[in-house]
Structure 1
Amino acid sequence: MEKSKDSLTKELVTTGALLTAFAPLERVKNLMQNQNAIIKLGRLSKPYNGICDCFATTIRHEGFFSLWRGNTAYLIAHLSVQSRKDIEWSRVGFVSFAAPQLLFYPFLYAGTRLSTDVKKTISYTVGNRQFNGVMMSSEKP
């Protein structure tokens, strides 16, 4: 059964709103999962003492709106894949499903890299992130 254009639009808007609403939890989850690597990179001075400490530290050092860092890349990837769910599973259907997966996986990767990119909390200096956005890096390797 084919969905109407209005129904698909409503579904995409709802999904986007939910992803944006839960973006702070996604960022904190990524920070908690990757804190050992962030410490090894010298961007975090000590491990987080839990979820509340991670929220508080992130807001204190980077600001409230940094909790949505990387959300745009996640939205692009998830909404693009979401809009392709109702395809028919044939050879053509498989190709039309697999192509967006391959094309938008880099956005998921970029979203994860952006969400785990914290300001250096050791020196407390402003503006020394590793990445500025999906396409730009602010530091030289």
Structure 2
Amino acid sequence: MKLLMQNQNAVIKSDRLLKPYNGIFNCFSTTIRKEGFFSLWRGNIALTIGHFSTKVIYFNSIHYAASHLDAWSLMRLLVFANATVVATPFLVYPFTYAGTRLATDVKTVGNMNNRQFNGYLISSEKP
């Protein structure tokens, strides 16, 4: 719902939504009424994979840096922590982007059974 509320202007511009939502409760009720209860979880798999990937990358790099104890261990730990913070968004961004696109993929206005994305494969033609 958060992503639908944040991106509703872009969804309206792409002619996939007729009018903006009046609030979060209107967004919930409209989505459940038109698309069903399980449509509330669209995009969560990609977002969850991205979130856990971030945690795994961060903790594994910190564990690796901390496991090699010597005179430079604190410096190595700081370098690994900063490198991880910088590199992780580049590695996880595709999952975040896919989750956002899937979450804001409402059924089209004219044909209520048509979505831009079907399953995990992206359709190459415009609806």
CA distance in 2, matches of 1:137, 1:102: 21
Structure 2: which 5+ residue stretches go unaligned? 63-76
Alignment: residue pair count: 110
One-letter amino acid of the structure 2 residue matched with residue 89 of structure 1: L
One-letter amino acid of the structure 2 residue matched with residue 79 of structure 1: F
CA distance in 2, matches of 1:102, 1:125: 35
User: Is residue 132 from structure 1 mapped to residue 105 from structure 2 by the alignment?
Assistant: no
In the other structure, the counterpart of 2:42 is 69
Structural RMSD (CA): 2.0
Q: Structure 2 length as normaliser, TM-score?
A: 0.75
> In terms of Rg, which structure is larger?
2
CA distance in 2, matches of 1:53, 1:95: 43
Please list the CA deviations of residues 79-134 of structure 1 after superposition, one character each: whole Å capped at 9, or x if unmatched.
011123341222x55445544432211100110111111001x22531x1111245
Of 6, 19, 23 in structure 2, the residue corresponding to residue 50 of structure 1 is 23
Work out whether residues 129 and 138 of structure 1, in 8 Å CA contact, stay in contact via their aligned partners in 2: no
SS at match of 1:44: coil
CA distance in 2, matches of 1:108, 1:99: 15
Structure 1: which 5+ residue stretches go unaligned? 1-27
